[in-house]
Structure 1
Amino acid sequence: MSDDHTHVQEFFGARAADWDARFPDDGPAYEAAVSDMGLRPGDRVLDAGCGTGRALPPLKTAVGASGVVVGADLTWAMLEAAVRAGRDRDGHLLLTDVAALPMRSESLDAVFAAGLVAHLPNPAENLRELARVVRPGGTLALFHPIGRAALAARQGRQLTPEDLRAESNLGPLLADSGWDMTSYADEDARFLALAVRRG
């Protein structure tokens, strides 16, 4: 396992038990972001880096009984927290690295990813892997329940021009990885970039 993976597992593993309690008011932001994805009944969707599974209930509501929701995360403690919260009823949980997904190419209609980009060891390569498993025309949602400036303030750091989630950086990064960015919102109350898988 790489040092990057170990760091991510240690960081989130130590925080899994009280993660939801630390951010109790994020639910509506997740629901709004899922709504903006335009999912349809019967769609197959991956929550990449699903953590405690907060997106799984709205994703399952969007795709309905005929749809499939998979939550994938690298950290076992986060998936355990998702099970304790009962969110495994809304999606299949998978302990795996989103950089090497055990899924067929073009088998999904969409990917939802909350807070994932900042933790990707090789963003272009990792976003290409997400593109691999999504059909042409499928959707990617890169989400965070607060915007870049609010998140930087919470973490006690400054925003820099190198921030991957800056629109001027994210658009080309997605384009190099098989995606075309279709919308970008960076507000105090949320960050949401939507992209479509190129054919």
Structure 2
Amino acid sequence: MSRLHGPGDVQFFDRIARLYDAAMPAADADSLRAGLAFARRPVERVLDVAGGTGRATRALARDGPEPTVVDFSRGMLERARDDGREAVHADAGTLPMRDDSVDAVVVVDALHHLPDPERAVREAARVVVPGGVVVIQEFGPRTLRGRGLVLAERAIGFDSQFWTPDELCDVLERAGLNARIVSGGFEYVVVGRVEDD
């Protein structure tokens, strides 16, 4: 069975959960909302997959629907729950939701940690209704800061996989989504829309 993160990643995030929010900047709500705007339906039910302590959830809940945080790290989910967030312990590769059950999935700064990212994207596409979207924020590995991040994650022992925005759009397209780049740079956002058959 695949896990949301590799086993070492989960243990690392469990250990740093109490410090995570102090070390990480707030999620870029504007770029995430621009991705959500690609939906062809109202966005009311949102999953924050691999959402950790709920950084993206906090950013999006300020003036929109509050996502449900989904993560495999119990330590990170405990922090999300302590913050009053709805949280579900689950594997990104086997989400415990019915087909076509949410309007959007967001994955912020986490896809690169998943042991089977393409499976996680396919699973996200499965639970999103036609007209809904999968919004992914990732780090550009060819930017100066991105190259530094890749080296840092390898030094920690992560087996992270990174993509350029175009490469990640290809991942979304292979999952059957209509993909586009929302924003570029070190922290870029791509979105894939689930189209009607």
Shorter-chain TM-score range: 0.7 to 0.9
Q: Does 1:31 align with 2:32?
A: no
Deviation by residue 1:152-172 (Cα, 9 ceiling, x = unmatched): 3145369xxxx6421342222
Q: Does 1:192 align with 2:195?
A: no
Aligned residues: 183
Q: Pick one of 146, 154, 163 that aligns with 1:151.
A: 146
For the residue of structure 2 that corresponds to 1:112, the secondary structure is: strand
Alpha-carbon offset, residue 96 of structure 1: 0.7
Deviation by residue 1:38-59 (Cα, 9 ceiling, x = unmatched): 2787610000001111111232
* Structure 2 segments unaligned to the other structure (5+ residues): 154-160
- Counting only pairs closer than 5 Å after superposition, residues 35-46 of structure 1 correspond to structure 2 as 35-36=33-34, 37-38=36-37, 43-46=44-47
- Counting only pairs closer than 5 Å after superposition, residues 3-22 of structure 1 correspond to structure 2 as 5-22=6-23
Question: d(CA) in 1 for partners of 2:43 and 2:104?
Answer: 12
Question: d(CA) in 1 for partners of 2:190 and 2:150?
Answer: 21
Compared with structure 1, are the counterparts of its residues 152 and 15 closer, same or farther at alpha carbon in structure 2 (3 Å cutoff)?
A: farther
TM-score, with length taken from structure 2 = 0.80
For the residue of structure 2 that corresponds to 1:139, the secondary structure is: strand
Question: d(CA) in 1 for partners of 2:195 and 2:101?
Answer: 15
Q: Pick one of 108, 112, 124 that aligns with 2:102.
A: 108
Cross-structure match for 2:123: 129
Alpha-carbon offset, residue 108 of structure 1: 0.6
Amino acid in structure 2 at the alignment position of 1:96: A
Percent of aligned positions with the same letter in both sequences?
A: 28
Amino acid in structure 2 at the alignment position of 1:135: V
TM-score, with length taken from structure 1 = 0.79
Alpha-carbon offset, residue 141 of structure 1: 1.1
- Counting only pairs closer than 5 Å after superposition, residues 165-180 of structure 1 correspond to structure 2 as 165-180=163-178
User: Contact 1:53 / 1:87 at 8 angstroms: preserved in 2?
Assistant: no
User: Contact 1:41 / 1:63 at 8 angstroms: preserved in 2?
Assistant: no
Q: Does 1:82 align with 2:47?
A: no
User: Contact 2:71 / 2:88 at 8 angstroms: preserved in 1?
Assistant: yes
Alpha-carbon offset, residue 192 of structure 1: 0.9
Higher relative contact order (CA 8 A, sep 6+): 2
Compared with structure 1, are the counterparts of its residues 133 and 2 closer, same or farther at alpha carbon in structure 2 (3 Å cutoff)?
A: closer
Question: d(CA) in 1 for partners of 2:184 and 2:17?
Answer: 26
Q: Does 1:49 align with 2:50?
A: yes
Alpha-carbon offset, residue 6 of structure 1: 1.9
Question: d(CA) in 1 for partners of 2:46 and 2:173?
Answer: 21
Question: d(CA) in 2 for partners of 1:171 and 1:2?
Answer: 23
* Structure 1 segments unaligned to the other structure (5+ residues): none
Q: Pick one of 113, 125, 137 that aligns with 1:119.
A: 113
